[in-house]
Chain A
Amino acid sequence: MDINISHFLFISAALFAIGFYAAIRRRNIILVLIGIELMVNAAVINLVAFANVNTKANAADGKLMALFAIVLSAAAIALALAIVVKVHQYFNTINPDQIEEFKN
């Protein structure tokens, strides 16, 4: 079993690029959120993979950073979906190209 760290780096680079594509393509707010989640997941994979480099001294650092990143993205996604629901009540659409004005 010789799975290198570079395998994980390849997967995380691919996931980050796919998430970036979904985020800048901007067809729908939900898809933008999915892209952001993919990018966060790529970062989590990187953090957990690099936690294996120096095992004894600071074994928990990278993994706990990944855990905090997961928790923060959960909070962010809950807030973003609440805002999506409010935007839909106000504009009747969640396509970012059709939301053009912000008035009170």
Chain B
Amino acid sequence: MIKLVFYLFAFLAIAAALYAVSTKQIIRSVFAMFACFFAISGLLVFAQSDFIAIAHLMIYVGGILVVMVFGIMLSQKASLSNVVLQKKSISLHQYLALLACIALFVILMYFFNLYAPNTPIHYVGSDIQILGIALLTKYLLPFELVSLLLLAAFIFTAMVTRKNKI
């Protein structure tokens, strides 16, 4: 039963990602990414990291994709349903990209089969206590640095997008 849910999430993630990169309308690909990120967040639960899964769901589905929808709205002249990617003809560039993608997948699977440990994952309990202690002891400096970096990035983003110069 639990394996069935895992395979469902895995199928949903890969199928939604495939649809997102192959559809003609950008807004559809962004909404497919909603499903893809939701499924990836479910997969992170199966890798027994609950806190990362919740953070992933909040940041990606609640933050990044909403910002992406805003970016599409601000950068397209036509209405959202008419945003169609041009260049429908299949070119050499597309074949080369597809070939490179498949070659990359084969190479990655080859090395994963060669070196990956075949360890089954057992549930040992929630990881929030371990993560909290590690964040405030061993990883205190990266934690503070990453918060400073986020602040700087968002100040810079607001500065780039404002209309009149300072």
Pick from B21, B52, B70, B161: contact of A21, CB below 8 A.
B21
CA distance A94 to B30 in the complex (A): 16
Question: Which one of A14, A30, A53, A94 has the highest number of Cβ atoms from chain B below 10 Å of its Cβ?
Answer: A30
Residues of A within 8 A of B94 (CB): 25
Pick from A10, A27, A86: contact of B161, CB below 8 A.
A86
Pick from B10, B59, B139: contact of A74, CB below 8 A.
B59
CA distance A85 to B135 in the complex (A): 35
Residues of A within 8 A of B105 (CB): 13-14, 16-17
Bitwise, B13-49 to A at CB < 8 A (1) or not (0) is: 1100110110000100110010011001001101111
Q: Is the CB of B146 within 8 A of A4?
A: no
CA distance A14 to B21 in the complex (A): 13
Count of residues in A whose CB is under 8 Å from the partner chain: 69
Residues of B within 8 A of A61 (CB): 134
Given A24-B100, A74-B64, A63 and B109 touching (CB < 8 A)? no
Report 25 cross-chain contacts, Cβ distance below 8 Å, ordered by A residue. Answer: A3-B120, A4-B119, A4-B120, A6-B116, A8-B43, A13-B109, A17-B101, A20-B104, A21-B98, A22-B21, A24-B100, A34-B68, A37-B33, A37-B64, A45-B44, A53-B119, A60-B133, A61-B134, A66-B49, A66-B52, A68-B142, A74-B63, A74-B64, A78-B153, A82-B157
Residues of A within 8 A of B (CB): 1-11, 13-22, 24-25, 27-28, 30-31, 33-35, 37-38, 41, 44-45, 48-49, 51-53, 55, 59-61, 63-64, 66-68, 70-79, 81-86, 88, 92, 94-95
Q: Report, nearest first, the 5 A-B pairs whose CB atoms are least far apart.
A: A60-B134, A21-B101, A17-B105, A75-B153, A88-B75
Assuming A60-B139, A86-B160, what are 9 further A-B pairs, CB within 8 angstroms?
A: A5-B119, A28-B26, A34-B29, A37-B60, A41-B60, A59-B130, A67-B55, A75-B154, A88-B75
